């Protein structure tokens, strides 16, 4: 490392401190030419209490105004003239402290300001070599395998923006940006960087199939798909089914129980009893006496759905026996009719086939262990990054499916031997679709929210990380977003979305959100625990681009006509409910 990190010359001197409050500093700029080179997001160094200390600040506002001053009129002392003179002020937010020596350590940088600058302290612009050396200092505290390089600084394209990969995932993260801002590129880039590690473990909940190019020949990810209506008879091992018996009691009832039905308590009671007994029978048939002692109705144990339907129908039609032995109305007679009808309707709907029409193999006791190894294990090449295609899952059941999927993985990690745990991350693409604000959520969505909020609060302890991706942060659960300690925020043009991001940041950083609608495509604000300095960066372009490119309307209308044959095929695809 260089003997000196910050080497300032007169050309770097901006001016002096004019005003100080608890988090911001006003600098009276004396070099008008230098001020014209300073923009929002530039870094400045303010001389601290000693020559060995600099307070590092981020330029938040640059203003020029005119003020009246005495004008030099030469040797004529009898004439006094007052005229306008330009006055330049920089508003700077303090974000860190750099010391050349601290105890027995050299070149120490820490987040936050230990003290406040004194009036008239000299201020300098950090640029060129000084900027590169400072950024190198920040990265030098990271081990080589811990570095996550996502791009370059906008203020100096030669300086790499390096974050801590450990802290980025340990404290949860969010990637936010309006449509067309480069959000999918950011996700693809993050996955590409992770794929270069020896044993990455990331699962992407892909709502639109846009990350499938990463799984194709020459890609670095393994592709899976939640079974669609056309996949129910497929023996493709990459087609995933989430059979009904994986759902816990509340998840299952949220799909088939009408809480407004006066018989809802009776329906839930009989459902619970029969499911528990059927699971117990499976354990008995498989010789799992040790599990019988402790299992619950929520334990993921296979059972036959047709047996459940038969038991519920029997309850619904059985007569009771009167005092004189004559048949009378049964305790449950007629009370389960609508419940059974709703369950049968779900079973027969092919859209829900991935759940209610599992293969024979998916009802085997050993099937879950195989699925778990496939999802969070390392079985073969490219198995570290997994893209899970949810594009054919019906929207009304999507929250239950994503919630069940996440809960299953979290529960597996929870019950794993702590010494054997390998951390994994869940990338929640289009999170606003299935992780809405709680007040706007229905019964089905609340089940998913409960799971993801639990992971957001407790996942770090067990090696489960969330990466929340959304174009509408104002529609995403506040509880989940508030647990994210790292933010990669691309262009946001909606006021309500900007306000959400502003509230998630420390008060001293809130002013940075003013630049969000002005960011170029692929530019982002990177801030949080993973990086010591909040930074505006230009993301590197991923080697493999996601299938999320925007069509060129005007150009396409100019150059090519609609394909009638393709439209006819689309009609048949719509009818089949599968693209294959």
Is the sign of the CA dihedral 102, 105, 106, 107 positive or negative?
A: negative
Task: Give the closest residue to 247 by CA, choosing from 283, 282, 271.
Answer: 271
The answer to whether residue 458 scores a pLDDT higher than 60 is yes
The answer to whether residue 79 scores a pLDDT higher than 80 is no
Whole-angstrom Cα distance, residue 234 to residue 225? 12
Whole-angstrom Cα distance, residue 444 to residue 33? 60
pLDDT digits (tens, 9 = 90+) for 215-246: 998 899 999 999 888 888 888 889 999 999 99
Residue 433 lies in a domain: yes
The answer to whether residue 118 scores a pLDDT higher than 80 is yes
132 and 189 assigned to the same domain: no
Q: Which of 320-324, 449-453, 468-472 has the lowest mean pLDDT?
A: 320-324
Q: What is the mean pLDDT of the chain?
A: 88
18 and 137 assigned to the same domain: yes
Structure tokens at 85: 């003179």
pLDDT at residue 75, rounded to an integer: 59
CB 508, CB 24: distance < 8 Å: yes
Residue 362 lies in a domain: no
131 and 168 assigned to the same domain: no
CB 546, CB 389: distance < 8 Å: no
pTM (global) more than 0.95: no
Task: Note down the domain range covering 197.
Answer: 160-230+379-550
Residue 310 lies in a domain: yes
DSSP secondary structure string for all residues of 107-144: EEEEES-SS-PPTT-EEEEE-HHHHHHHHHHHHHTS-G
The answer to whether residue 80 scores a pLDDT higher than 70 is no
395 and 497 assigned to the same domain: yes
Whole-angstrom Cα distance, residue 508 to residue 356? 52
397 and 491 assigned to the same domain: yes
Q: Which of 168-182, 253-267, 503-517, 531-545 has the lowest mean pLDDT?
A: 503-517
217 and 318 assigned to the same domain: no
210 and 278 assigned to the same domain: no
The answer to whether residue 388 scores a pLDDT higher than 80 is yes
Residue 346 lies in a domain: no
Residue 345 lies in a domain: no
Whole-angstrom Cα distance, residue 535 to residue 494? 21
Residue 363 lies in a domain: no
Residue 566 lies in a domain: no
397 and 468 assigned to the same domain: yes
98 and 197 assigned to the same domain: no
Residue 52 lies in a domain: yes
Question: Based on the structure, what is the number of domains in the chain?
Answer: 3
The answer to whether residue 285 scores a pLDDT higher than 80 is yes
pLDDT at residue 76, rounded to an integer: 56
Whole-angstrom Cα distance, residue 158 to residue 62? 24
pLDDT digits (tens, 9 = 90+) for 511-523: 778 889 989 999 9
The answer to whether residue 575 scores a pLDDT higher than 90 is no
Is the sign of the CA dihedral 49, 51, 53, 54 positive or negative?
A: positive
Any idea what the CATH number is for the domain that residue 435 is in? 3.40.50.300
pLDDT at residue 491, rounded to an integer: 95
413 and 545 assigned to the same domain: yes
């Amino acid at each position: 490392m260089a003997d000196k990190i910050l080497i300032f010359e007169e050309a770097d001197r901006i001016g002096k401190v004019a005003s100080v409050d608890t988090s911001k500093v006003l600098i009276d700029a004396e070099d008008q030419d230098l001020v014209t080179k300073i923009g929002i997001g530039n870094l400045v160094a303010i001389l601290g209490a000693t020559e060995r200390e600099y307070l590092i600040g981020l330029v938040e506002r640059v203003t020029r105004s005119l003020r009246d001053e005495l004008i030099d009129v030469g040797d004529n002392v009898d004439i006094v003239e007052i005229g306008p003179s330009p006055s330049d002020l920089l508003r700077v937010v303090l974000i860190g402290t750099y010391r050349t020596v601290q105890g027995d350590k050299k070149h120490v940088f820490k987040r936050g300001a230990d003290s406040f600058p004194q009036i008239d302290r000299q201020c300098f612009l950090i640029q060129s070599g000084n900027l590169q050396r400072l950024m190198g200092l920040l990265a030098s505290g990271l081990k080589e395998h811990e570095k996550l390089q996502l791009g370059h600084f906008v203020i100096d394209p030669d300086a790499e923006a390096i974050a801590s990969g450990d802290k980025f995932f340990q404290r949860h993260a969010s990637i936010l940006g309006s449509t067309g801002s480069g959000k999918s590129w950011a996700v693809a880039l993050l996955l590409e960087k992770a794929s270069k590690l020896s044993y990455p473990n990331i699962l992407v909940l892909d709502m639109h199939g846009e990350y499938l190019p990463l799984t194709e020949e020459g890609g670095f990810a393994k592709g899976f798909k939640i079974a669609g209506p056309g996949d129910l008879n497929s023996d493709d091992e990459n087609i995933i089914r989430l059979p009904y018996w994986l759902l816990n009691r509340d998840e299952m009832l949220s799909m088939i129980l009408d809480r407004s039905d006066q018989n809802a308590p009776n329906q839930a009671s009989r459902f619970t009893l029969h499911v528990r007994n059927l699971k117990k029978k499976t354990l008995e048939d498989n010789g799992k006496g040790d599990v019988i002692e402790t299992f619950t109705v929520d334990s993921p144990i296979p059972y036959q759905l047709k047996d459940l339907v038969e038991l519920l129908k029997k309850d619904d039609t059985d007569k009771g026996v009167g005092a004189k032995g004559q048949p009378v109305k049964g305790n449950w007679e007629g009370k389960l009719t609508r419940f059974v009808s709703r369950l049968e309707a779900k079973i027969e709907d092919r859209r829900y086939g991935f759940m209610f029409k599992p293969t024979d193999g998916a009802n085997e006791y050993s099937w879950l262990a195989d699925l778990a190894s496939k999802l969070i294990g390392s079985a073969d090449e490219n198995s570290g990054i997994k893209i899970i295609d949810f594009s054919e899952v019906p929207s009304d059941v999507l929250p239950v499916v994503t919630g069940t999927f996440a809960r299953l993985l979290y529960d597996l990690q929870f019950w794993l031997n702590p010494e054997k745990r390998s951390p994994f991350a869940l990338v929640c693409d289009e999170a606003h679709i299935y992780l809405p604000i709680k007040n706007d959520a229905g019964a089905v969505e609340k089940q998913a929210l409960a799971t993801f909020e639990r992971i957001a609060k407790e996942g770090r302890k067990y090696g489960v990380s969330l990466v929340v991706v959304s174009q509408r942060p104002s529609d995403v659960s506040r509880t989940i977003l508030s647990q994210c300690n790292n933010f990669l925020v691309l262009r946001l043009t909606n006021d309500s979305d900007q306000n959400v991001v502003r509230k998630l940041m420390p008060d001293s950083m809130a002013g940075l959100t003013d630049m969000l609608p002005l960011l170029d495509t692929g530019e982002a604000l990177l801030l949080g625990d993973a990086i010591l300095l909040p930074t505006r960066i230009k993301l590197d372009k991923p080697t493999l681009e996601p299938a999320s490119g925007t069509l060129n309307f005007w150009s396409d209308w100019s150059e090519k006509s609609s394909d009638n044959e393709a439209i006819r095929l689309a009609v048949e695809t719509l009818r089949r409910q599968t693209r294959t």
